[in-house]
Structure 1
Amino acid sequence: MAEGAIPILEMKNAGKTYSQNGRAIEALRGASLRVKKSEFVCLIGASGCGKSTLLRMAAGFEAATQGDVLMWGMPITGPGPSRGMVFQDYGLFPWLNVRDNIGFGPKSRGRTRAEIRETTDRFIELVGLQNFADIYPHQLSGGMKQRVAIARVLANDAEIVLMDEPFGALDAMTRERLQDELVEIWSRTGLTVIFVTHSIEEAIFLADRVVVMSPGPGRIDNEYSIDLPRPRDIASPEFNEWRRLLSSQLHSHHGRKAG
C-alpha cells in the first residue's frame, strides 16, 4: 500500500474484552491490520484465536473495547451495507426464492422495481443461478445456497465482503468449485474480501495475503504476501512450500515442534 494511502479497512491496536459471569474474557488483543481496496486477505488460526471476533468488529456487529476500527478512515459504529457478511450457515430467508433473497437489500433500500430486477439479474448471472431464480432455499444444494448468500451481499452494494468459514460445511468437491468461482467473482468485481478459514490450503489458494493469528488472547502473529501466480496449482512445489511454512507457524502455537 502506498505510503499515506487510506486503506479501505484499518484496525489500530484493536481489542475486544467480554464480561462473562463477572469475569473479563479477552478475545482479541492489540490487532493492527491495514487492508487495501480489492485485496483478498485470509485469516487463519486455531479455534479461539479471535478470527471471528475480528471479522465481526469489521462488520460492525461488535464494538472494539480498545483501539480503533475504521473504514476509509472513518470509525465503524455499526453494521452497514458497505460491509457484507457471509456465514457458514448461509442465513437465507426460507420464505423467499433465490431472486427475492438476492433482491432483498435493494428492495429494502427503496430501489425501483426496474433497478431491483436489473441488479438481481446481474448477480444471479454472476453466480451462475439463472435456472434457479424461482427456487426456494430448501430446494437448493449447500453450494447453491452459498452462491445465493454471496450474490445477496454483492447486490446490496457491498465494498467489503466478510466471509466466516463460508465453505466449511460443504463437501470437498463443492468447496473446490466454489473457491474457483469466488476467485473469479473477486477478480471480475474488484471487491475487497476478508475470509476466515481453518484450512491452510484454502488460504494459500485464495489470498493475496495470509494473516496468521494465535490464541490466548487472540492476536495477529504474522502476515505473509502470497506471491504465487493465478490460477494457483495446489500440487506445485511453490504451493507446497507455502503450505509447509504456514503449517509450521500454526503448529508452533500449540507448543509442537515445527514441521
Structure 2
Amino acid sequence: MAEATAPILEMKNVGKIFSQAGRAIEALRGANLRVKKGEFICLIGASGCGKSTLLRLAAGFEAATQGDVLMWGTEITGPGPSRGMVFQDYGLFPWLNVRDNIGFGPKSRGRAKSEIRDTVAHFIDLVGLQRFADVYPHQLSGGMKQRVAIARVLANDAELVLMDEPFGALDAMTRERLQDELVEIWSRTGLTVLFVTHSIEEAIFLADRVVVMSPGPGRIDNEYSIDLPRPRDIASSEFNEWRRMLSSQLHSHHGRKAG
C-alpha cells in the first residue's frame, strides 16, 4: 500500500552549487518537492530562481550538491528513459525524419522492428502528424517540431515528462493550440508532467499545482492547488483571481537579496 502512495518524484532538502570562474554560485537551497503520479505541476518564478536547475536535477543531467532526488524512492544518478526532457529549442535530430526521430529511443534500446513501427504510428497519431511522418525537422513549423519532441519522449516510455519552457519561442496562437493539445495528451495518457514556465497564465491554464520559486538562492516559496474545472476559461473571474494572486506573489520577490 505504501508503494501505491509513494511519489513518482521526490526532492528532499535539495541544494545545488555551481562553480563559475572560481566562484561558488548557489543556484538552489533547501528545495522540497513531492510529485504524485499523474500530476501536472508548473514551476514559475523570475529568471535565475533555479527552475531549470531543479528540472535538470530531476532529469539526472546534474547531481545535487546536497539533499536527495528520488524517483519511486530510488536515487536518481543519471539520465534514464523513464524521465524525458522537452526543451524550448526542440532538440530534434536534423538528419532524421519525423518517424525516425520519434522511433530513435525504442530503436536504440533494441526493440523489435514491428514494435518500433507500432509505437511510432501510435504517437504520430497522438500528436496529429500523420501527414508529416516522412518530413525532416527543417521542413516543419515550430509548433510541429515541438509536437515531434513530445512524441519522441512519450515513445521512449517516459513516465515523467520534464518540460523547460517548451512553448516559449512560439507565437501566441501556436502556443495556445499546443497548450490545449498538451492537456489533451496528458489526460489521455496519465503522464506525470513537471513544466517550467515564465507565464503565470500558462501555469494556471495547465497545472493541477503551481509551485512558486524565489531567487537568491533558488527556493520553493509556496505551492497552490489550482481547483478550476477543465477545460479552463482564461477569461473567467476565477481564472483572473488566480492570475492576480500569483502575479502579486511573484512581484513581491523582486529586489530580494541573496542570503
Q: Which SS does the other structure have where 2:5 is aligned? A: coil
Separation in 1, partners of 2:6, 2:38: 13
What amino acid is aligned across from residue 77 of structure 2 in structure 1? T
- Corresponding residue for 1:99? 99
The structure-2 alpha-carbon separation of the partners of 1:100 and 1:213, relative to structure 1 and needing over 3 Å to count, comes to: same
Separation in 1, partners of 2:249, 2:199: 13
Q: How many equivalent pairs are there?
A: 255
Separation in 1, partners of 2:136, 2:4: 47
Once the two structures are superposed, residues 23-51 of structure 1 have per-residue CA deviations (whole angstroms, 9 ceiling, x without a partner) of 11100000000000000000000000000
What amino acid is aligned across from residue 38 of structure 1 in structure 2? G
In the alignment, structure 2 segments of 5+ residues that lack a partner are none
TM value normalised by structure 2: 0.97
- Corresponding residue for 1:33? 33
What amino acid is aligned across from residue 85 of structure 1 in structure 2? M
Q: Which SS does the other structure have where 1:241 is aligned? A: helix
The structure-2 alpha-carbon separation of the partners of 1:235 and 1:99, relative to structure 1 and needing over 3 Å to count, comes to: same
TM value normalised by structure 1: 0.97
Q: Which runs of 4+ in 1 moved over 3 A?
A: none
Q: CA deviation at 1:3?
A: 11
- Corresponding residue for 1:243? 243
- Corresponding residue for 1:73? 73
Q: CA deviation at 1:133?
A: 0.1
Q: CA RMSD in A?
A: 1.3
- Corresponding residue for 2:160? 160
The structure-2 alpha-carbon separation of the partners of 1:67 and 1:167, relative to structure 1 and needing over 3 Å to count, comes to: same
Separation in 2, partners of 1:21, 1:92: 32
Residues 1:185 and 2:185 aligned together: yes
- Corresponding residue for 2:254? 254
Equivalent runs, 1:46-65 vs 2, <5 Å: 46-65=46-65
Q: Which SS does the other structure have where 2:34 is aligned? A: strand
- Corresponding residue for 2:202? 202
Residues 1:222 and 2:230 aligned together: no
Once the two structures are superposed, residues 47-82 of structure 1 have per-residue CA deviations (whole angstroms, 9 ceiling, x without a partner) of 000000000000000000010000000000000000
Once the two structures are superposed, residues 87-140 of structure 1 have per-residue CA deviations (whole angstroms, 9 ceiling, x without a partner) of 000000000000000000000000011000000000000000000000000000
Separation in 2, partners of 1:22, 1:237: 50
Q: CA deviation at 1:201?
A: 0.1
Residues 1:176 and 2:176 aligned together: yes
Separation in 2, partners of 1:15, 1:205: 29
Residues 1:118 and 2:147 aligned together: no
Separation in 2, partners of 1:92, 1:155: 14
Separation in 2, partners of 1:20, 1:134: 43
In the alignment, structure 1 segments of 5+ residues that lack a partner are none
The structure-2 alpha-carbon separation of the partners of 1:3 and 1:80, relative to structure 1 and needing over 3 Å to count, comes to: closer
Separation in 2, partners of 1:21, 1:44: 28
Separation in 1, partners of 2:15, 2:152: 30
What amino acid is aligned across from residue 106 of structure 2 in structure 1? P
Separation in 1, partners of 2:165, 2:93: 20
Identity over aligned residues, as a percent?
89
